[in-house]
């Protein structure tokens, strides 16, 4: 019985076999028992099919190394005849002979063999064993243990593939700004039918996003069933957003009913809670525009809507960068014009300055240009403004910098509706990557609208109490209306005026909960000379600290600089840390 002995488990045959099995074994001839297997084909423990006497510790032990020498145990004391050791010549020459040997061995112990034989795959008979043929955790080849092992393997099956094009509910990528985030959604009607309160609140937050300010959004509870009932008597909007918690069969049945009521031009976004690629493909085949999986942020909803209405073949829409002062005289216009020059000339990006201080703007003075009536005419009749007319109205300052100057006349009023400013800004943005807006220190309907819908906002303040109060109010107003955007940038200007009490930078930043991206020193000689010569600070003194700070502001706005390493003039925060 050497072939049925295990080199690690030495057990008593009286415990391992019944009396009938022992009688059958004693009746076997030596040839029946001398079943020789090459250790390259099987480990000697692979054929040890009786485990009645094994304990839990033995079953949990790993098998012996495959490349170990075969160990021949002593004959069991019950048998009088001894069995000769395995000879190399007696090994089976083919897989068929090996299978026959397995069947013969199983017959000896009267064990069920169909399942065990089927468990052996062709690769198990390779001449060279590796770890993939028999895992270390594989139990002995018995029917019960094989079933347990199969059950464990079934539990380890990987999850089905996820929907690649849908927004995942377990990803934080939505927090990272993406290209095209500044592009607004056109004037469309959107109907949203929610199943859960959480989704309803999420869509409400998205509706307040500046990119959806032109769209009209109506939110209903009730999901797909409510939508089918609603549009039996109502006209379908440009976009439908449907949340579903139903099964696939119920979802497709409801979509079929809705398809009979919808206008062919209506786009549909389905919000679901199942990440299933098969479901996604079936929805796409039925004409669904997008399948959004359990969104966690309002920006996910906003991006999904915007992606349906942004034409990839259309020219890119430029970003709007608005500069506003916390009060009059803080130097917001000066900083605006110099940063715009840096964006155009240092970063080689085409830029247009839009001077909206229509009566008292200084952009034409700073760049030595004549005042123009073009901007006032465009605001008076925005529907006439096109690309050709816009090119005629813009004044060239450099190859990459153009100016839409204020008229600087007091013989007329400039009370235009906010929609006129909106149309002019949209037209200018279509033809240039960067639109820098010099916003006057005023609070009207159109100034508030431009400020809240800007892509980037830079607030300039000085270290005094009135500037601090106004900056705080501006920041709170902007944050309240732009919950999905980054906070505005803060620039502290005119620091270190002799004999003037100032609020320390650290206290200013702590109270506003915003660190300034630049702190610019009081330097009347440099800025006075630049203004008198009608040139930017970079041309007056390119190596000055003020020029370095202004250049760093441009880099940060374009996403190419670090706020923590901003090139500042006299950074009082740094001085306090050294004390």
Q: Measuring CA to CA, how many Å separate 212 from each of 141, 203, 206?
A: 65, 11, 8
Q: Which tokens belong to 52? A: 């009645």
The confidence score (pLDDT) of residue 185 equals: 78
CA nearest neighbour of 216 among 183, 187, 179, 258 = 187
pLDDT of residue 459: 97
Give a yes or no: residue 431 inside a domain: yes
Q: Which of 309, 245, 233, 241 is nearest to 272 (CA)?
A: 245
Let me know whether 82 and 148 are in one domain.
yes
Q: Are 103 and 182 in the same domain?
A: no
Out of 287, 309, 331, a domain closes at: 309
Q: 514 and 370 in one domain?
A: yes
Domain-ending residue, one of 309, 338, 356: 309
The answer to whether position 163 is within a domain reads no
Strands 395-396 and 401-404: antiparallel
- The answer as to whether 160 is a domain residue is no
Do the Cβ atoms of 350 and 487 come closer than 8 Å? no
pLDDT at site 109: 52
Would you say residue 443 lies in a domain? yes
Q: Which helix (H) or strand (E) holds 389?
A: helix 387-393
Query: Phi and psi of 530, rounded to 5°?
Result: -65, -40
Query: Is 366 found in the same domain as 454?
Result: yes
Q: What angle do CA 222, 228, 231 make, to 5 degrees?
A: 110
Cα torsion for 206, 208, 211, 217, to the nearest 10°?
Answer: 80
Last residue within a domain, chosen from 110, 129, 155: 155
- Residue 350, in any domain of the structure: yes
Residue 75 belongs to some domain of the structure = yes
DSSP run (H or E) holding 491: strand 489-495
CA dihedral (180, 184, 186, 190) positive or negative: positive
DSSP assignment of 56-72: HHHHHSPPPPTTSPP--
Asked if 395 and 487 sit in the same domain, the reply is: yes
What is the structure's pLDDT at 113? 44
Q: Is 533 inside any structural domain?
A: yes
Looking at the fold, whether 468 and 571 belong to one and the same domain comes out as yes
State how many domains the chain has.
3
- Tell me, what's the pLDDT at 482? 87
User: 194: part of which helix (H) or strand (E)?
Assistant: strand 189-194
Look up the CATH number of the domain holding residue 289: 3.40.50.2300
**Same domain for 454 and 499?**
yes
Do 151 and 185 sit in the same domain of this protein?
A: no
Residue 303: CB atoms within 10 A of its CB come to 21
The answer to whether residues 407 and 375 touch, using CB atoms and an 8 Å cutoff, is yes
CATH number of the CATH domain containing 391: 3.40.50.300
Residue-level pLDDT at 116: 46
Q: How many CA atoms lie within 13 A of 522 on its CB side?
A: 11
Same domain? 234 vs 142:
no
Question: Quick check: is 167 in a domain?
Answer: no
Whether 36 and 184 map to the same domain: the answer is no
Instruction: Please check whether residues 27 and 66 belong to one and the same domain.
Output: yes
Per-residue pLDDT of the chain in tens (579 residues, 90 and over written 9): 444 444 444 445 555 566 776 676 666 655 555 555 555 555 545 545 554 555 555 555 555 555 545 555 555 554 444 445 544 445 555 566 766 777 676 666 554 444 444 554 444 444 454 545 444 444 443 344 344 434 444 444 344 333 433 433 334 455 555 655 666 777 778 999 999 999 999 999 888 888 887 788 999 999 999 999 998 888 788 899 999 988 888 889 999 888 888 888 888 999 998 888 888 888 998 888 899 888 888 888 888 888 887 665 655 578 899 999 999 999 999 999 999 999 999 988 889 999 999 999 999 999 999 888 889 889 989 998 888 888 889 999 998 899 999 998 888 888 889 999 999 998 898 878 899 999 999 999 999 999 998 999 999 999 999 999 999 999 999 998 888 888 999 999 999 999 999 999 999 999 999 999 999 999 999 999 999 999 999 999 999 999 999 999 999 998 877 664 433 444 444 444 444
* pTM (two decimals): 0.55
The boundaries of the domain holding residue 344 are 319-578
User: Quick one: 229 and 325 in the same domain?
Assistant: no
């Amino acid at each position: 019985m050497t072939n049925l002995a295990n080199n690690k488990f030495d057990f008593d045959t009286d415990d391992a076999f019944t009396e009938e099995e022992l009688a059958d074994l004693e009746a076997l001839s030596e040839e029946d028992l001398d079943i020789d297997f090459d250790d390259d084909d099987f480990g000697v423990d692979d054929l040890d099919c009786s485990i009645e006497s094994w304990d839990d510790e033995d079953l949990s032990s790993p098998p012996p190394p495959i490349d170990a020498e075969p160990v021949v145990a002593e004959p069991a004391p019950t048998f009088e005849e001894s069995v000769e050791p395995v000879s190399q010549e007696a090994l089976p020459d083919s897989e068929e002979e090996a299978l026959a040997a397995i069947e013969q061995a199983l017959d000896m112990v009267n064990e069920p063999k169909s399942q065990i034989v089927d468990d052996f795959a062709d690769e198990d008979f390779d001449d060279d064993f590796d770890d993939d043929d028999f895992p270390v955790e594989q139990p002995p080849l018995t029917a019960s243990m094989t079933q347990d092992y199969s059950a464990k393997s079934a539990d380890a099956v990987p999850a089905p593939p996820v929907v690649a094009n849908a927004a995942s509910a377990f990803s934080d990528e939505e927090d990272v700004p993406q290209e095209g985030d500044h592009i607004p959604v056109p004037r469309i009607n959107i109907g949203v039918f929610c199943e859960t309160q959480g989704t309803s609140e999420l869509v409400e937050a998205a509706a307040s996003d500046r990119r959806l300010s032109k769209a009209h959004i109506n939110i209903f509870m009730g999901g797909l069933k409510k939508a089918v009932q609603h549009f039996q008597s109502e006209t379908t909007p440009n976009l439908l957003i449907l949340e579903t918690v139903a099964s696939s069969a119920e979802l497709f049945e409801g979509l079929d009913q809705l398809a009979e009521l919808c206008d062919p031009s209506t786009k549909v976004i389905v919000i679901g809670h199942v990440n299933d690629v098969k479901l996604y493909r079936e929805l796409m085949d039925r004409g669904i525009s997008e399948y959004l999986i359990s969104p966690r942020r309002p920006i996910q909803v906003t991006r999904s809507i915007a992606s349906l209405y942004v034409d990839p073949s259309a020219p890119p829409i430029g970003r709007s960068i608005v500069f506003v002062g916390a009060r009059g005289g803080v130097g917001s216009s000066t900083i605006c014009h110099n940063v715009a020059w840096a964006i155009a000339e240092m970063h080689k990006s085409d830029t247009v300055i839009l001077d909206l201080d229509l009566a008292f703007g200084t952009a034409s003075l700073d760049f030595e240009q004549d005042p123009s009536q073009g901007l006032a005419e465009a605001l008076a009749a925005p529907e006439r403004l096109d690309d050709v007319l816009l090119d005629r109205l813009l004044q060239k300052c450099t190859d990459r910098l153009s100016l839409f100057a204020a008229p600087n006349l007091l013989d007329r009023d400039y009370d235009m509706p906010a929609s006129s400013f909106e149309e002019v800004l949209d037209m200018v943005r279509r033809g240039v990557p960067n639109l820098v807006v010099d916003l006057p220190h005023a609070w009207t309907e159109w100034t508030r609208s431009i400020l809240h819908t800007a892509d980037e906002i830079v607030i300039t303040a000085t270290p005094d109490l009135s500037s601090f109060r106004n900056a705080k109010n501006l920041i709170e107003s902007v944050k309240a209306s732009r919950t999905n955007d980054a906070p505005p940038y803060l620039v502290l200007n005119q620091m270190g005026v002799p004999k003037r009490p100032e609020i320390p930078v650290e206290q200013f930043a702590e109270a506003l909960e915003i660190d300034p991206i630049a702190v610019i020193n009081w330097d009347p000689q440099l800025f006075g000379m630049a203004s008198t010569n009608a040139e930017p600070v970079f041309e007056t003194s390119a190596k000055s600290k003020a020029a370095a700070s202004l250049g760093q502001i441009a880099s940060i706005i374009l996403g190419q600089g670090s706020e923590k390493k901003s090139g500042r003039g006299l950074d009082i925060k740094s001085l306090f840390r050294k004390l």
